[in-house]
A and B are shown apart, each in its own frame.
Chain A
Amino acid sequence: MTGVEAAITRAHRTEWARVVATVARRFGDLDVAEETAGDAFAIAAERWPIDGVPASPGAWLTTTANRKAIDRLRREARRQEKHREALMLTDEGAPVGAIEDDRLRLVFTCCHPALAMEASVALTLRMIGGLTVAEIAHAFLVQEAAMGQRITRAKAKIKVARIPYRVPTEEDLPARVTGVLAVLYLIFNEGYLASGPGRQVVRGDLISEAIRLVRLVRDLMPSDGEVAGLLALMLLTDARRTARLSADGELVALDEQDRGAWDHELIAEGHALVRARLTSGQAPGRYQILAAITAVHTDASDFQDTDWSQIAALYDQLIRLDASPIVRLNRAIAVAELDGPEVALAEIDPLPLSDYHAFHATRAHLLRRLGRDEASRAAYDRAISLARNPAEAVHLIRRRGELDGT
């Protein structure tokens, strides 16, 4: 890659969201913003090799996109004979101070609760992440045309229903931040444990994109505890990415992972974030508690050394916020280490999770520890039939094979 190509790639990474956000605020139209941001990068690819990389690529790209937007609106206005308004459009550039806010506005618009989750995911990856429609379609195993439709429909709803382009009011902010984080966490999880057959087991591109987006949101809302919590959770989870998959494509459970293969730089960053939240004195939300749980796991030099009472206590705290069966299931895994598999099994059995593979996998492990091989085998069978990730199925099949007799 030449120096100029590298500069364009870098600018795309760091400036795309800024360009889209600035144009979107100025012209109040995501379509115009998306198209003219694309134009600006295409022009950069033509001009920069000849003219050299500008001193401030972001400002150059924003100015170019703004000009393109004005051209486009004038053209449309001529067609619609709305001359007067179009002539009032001037190329004065955007005020510089508001730029950070623009990106945050864009995040809140793309993750608005009136949009379906899958629409928000696609829109966020396109408008803020700068991924192409083809890339997003590929990541979610959807036809490119269908993904394009999904994004077009979302943009049309934003426009027609007047989903506002602004940072929510103080009163709405916590719920709206939760919505943004749910979208980013879904992108991360899709990367971390891809669902559906024929997929790569781990999609590093989605994981990196999710982390990059959370870092951006954190830059924009540095004092929000849940944003910091989600970043920590992602870093501490991603730190185990390599150790989580064996050479022959089997998912490696936490108790069998080579902890030396964990990414200790990510762990250090994640732990620092969790510590900073603990000293903040504010009541932690869901992501901060999940991050703290992951921090306890990544703090132990091996599985037996894990501070299980701390983990169970954190799950108790989480249950007070979210008493869902899945949280109870995860708590029971800590209980198994503290009070034994029998107690844990008694807590798990009544949970209404009979369609969830992890429920059966957990039961299978506990039943195996209790020497109830036949019941364990049946639970493995059920877990394998429900597992949506091939590496997970391979892991469960091996564990089932370790049971005595056949």
Chain B
Amino acid sequence: MAQYLISVLADDTELASAEEDAAIDVFNEKLQSEGHWVFAGGLGHPTTATVIDARGRESMVTDGPYVETKEFVAGFWIIEAPDLDVALRLATTGSKACNRRVEVRPVLEG
């Protein structure tokens, strides 16, 4: 089994509608009942982000996202799947549920 990060891509500040929320719940239940669920969550808007750079002698704290983009990650799932075909099929259902584009990336193994 491999793990994949499914990021939800958004270009507006609208939160999920009640309808989308309900569909996301159904999708989450499906992930859990079929054994794909690892973790998931929605994220605050990029304007709520704080960047820390502790590589130097003194750590730097900066307000805002590390890069300004029109599109940002609004939420994510981490799923478990045997291969990319299964991950893509789940991501398709996820994209429908949250009504947004999603990106699938493999989590590197140990």
B46 at the binding interface (Cβ < 8 Å): no
Asked if B85 and A161 sit within 8 Å, CB to CB, the answer is no
A88 at the interface (CB under 8 A from B): no
Chain B: interface size category: 10 to 19
A162-170, A219-227, A237-245, A258-266: which lies at the B interface? A162-170
* Docked-complex contact A114 and B88, CB < 8 angstroms: yes
* CB atoms of A168 and B85 under 8 A apart: yes
Residues of A within 8 A of B85 (CB): 163-164, 168, 172
Query: Which one of B83, B85, B87 has the greatest number of beta carbons of chain A within 10 Å?
Result: B85
Q: How does the 8 Å CB contact mask read for B61-105 relative to A, with 1 for contact and 0 for none?
A: 000000000000000000000111101100000000000000011
Which listed residue, A112, A162, A168, touches B2 by the CB 8 Å rule? A162
B-side contacts of A161, CB under 8 Å: 84, 104-106
Assess the B83–A160 pair: CB atoms within 8 A: no
Partner of A160, one of B88, B104, B108: B108
Min distance, Cβ B61 to any Cβ of chain A, angstroms: 33
Whole-angstrom distance between the Cβ of B79 and the nearest chain A Cβ: 13
Whole-angstrom distance from the CB of A165 to the nearest CB of chain B? Answer: 9
Q: How far is the CB of B38 from chain A (nearest CB, A)?
A: 16
Contacts of B87 in A (CB 8 A): 162
| Most chain B C-beta atoms within 10 Å of own C-beta, residue among A161, A162, A163, A168 | A162
Q: Which of A107-165 touch B at CB < 8 Å?
A: 112, 114, 160-164
* Interface size bracket, A side: under 10
Q: Determine if A162 and B106 form an interchain contact, defined as CB atoms under 8 angstroms apart.
A: yes
Chain B residues whose C-beta falls within 8 Å of the C-beta of A162 in the assembled complex? 2, 82-84, 87, 106
Closest to A168 in B: B85
In Å, the complex CA distance between A351 and B87 comes to 39
List, in ascending order, chain B residues with CB within 8 A of A172's CB: 85
A159 and chain B: residue at smallest CB distance: B106
User: What residues of chain A lie closer than 8 Å to B108, measured between beta carbons?
Assistant: 160
Task: Please name the residue on chain B nearest to A162 by beta carbon.
Answer: B83
- Residues from chain B with Cβ under 8 Å of A112 in the complex: 84
Complex CA–CA separation, A403 to B104 (angstroms) = 56
State the CA gap A123–B84 with chains docked (Å): 18
CA distance A161 to B2 in the complex (A): 9
For B106, what are the chain A residues with a Cβ–Cβ distance below 8 Å?
A: 160-162
Q: How far is the CA of A206 from the CA of B51 in the complex (A)?
A: 51
Taking the nearest CB of chain A, how far is it from the CB of B1, in angstroms? 10
A168-B25 Cα distance, complex, nearest whole Å: 29
Contacts of B84 in A (CB 8 A): 112, 114, 161-164
The residues in A between 145 and 199 inclusive whose CB is less than 8 angstroms from any CB of B are 160-164, 168, 172
A160: B residues at CB distance < 8 A: 106, 108
A168 to B88, CA, bound (A): 13
A160 to B105, CA, bound (A): 9
- What is the bound-complex CA distance between A310 and B73, given in angstroms? 52
Q: How far is the CA of A162 from the CA of B106 in the complex (A)?
A: 8
- Residues from chain B with a CB closer than 8 A to the CB of A168 are 85
Q: How far is the CA of A160 from the CA of B106 in the complex (A)?
A: 7
B88 CB contacts on chain A under 8 angstroms: 114
List the A side residues contacting B104 at CB < 8 Å.
161
Question: In angstroms, how far is the closest chain B Cβ from the Cβ of A159?
Answer: 10
For the complex, give the distance between the alpha carbons of A374 and B53 in Å: 67
Residues from chain B with Cβ under 8 Å of A164 in the complex: 82-85
A160 to B2, CA, bound (A): 10
Smallest CB separation, A368 vs chain B (Å): 47
Known interface pairs A162-B83, A172-B85; 16 further A-B residue pairs with C-beta atoms within 8 A, sorted by A's residue number: A112-B84, A114-B84, A114-B88, A160-B106, A160-B108, A161-B84, A161-B104, A161-B106, A162-B82, A162-B87, A162-B106, A163-B83, A163-B84, A164-B82, A164-B85, A168-B85
Residue pairs across A and B with Cβ atoms less than 8 A apart, 22 shown, are A112-B84, A114-B84, A114-B88, A160-B106, A160-B108, A161-B84, A161-B104, A161-B105, A162-B2, A162-B82, A162-B83, A162-B84, A162-B87, A163-B83, A163-B84, A163-B85, A164-B82, A164-B83, A164-B84, A164-B85, A168-B85, A172-B85
Which residues of B are at the interface with A, using a C-beta cutoff of 8 A? 2, 82-85, 87-88, 104-106, 108
Interface residue ranges, A against B (CB under 8 Å): 112, 114, 160-164, 168, 172
**6 tightest A-B CB contacts, nearest first:** A164-B83, A162-B83, A161-B106, A163-B84, A161-B84, A162-B84
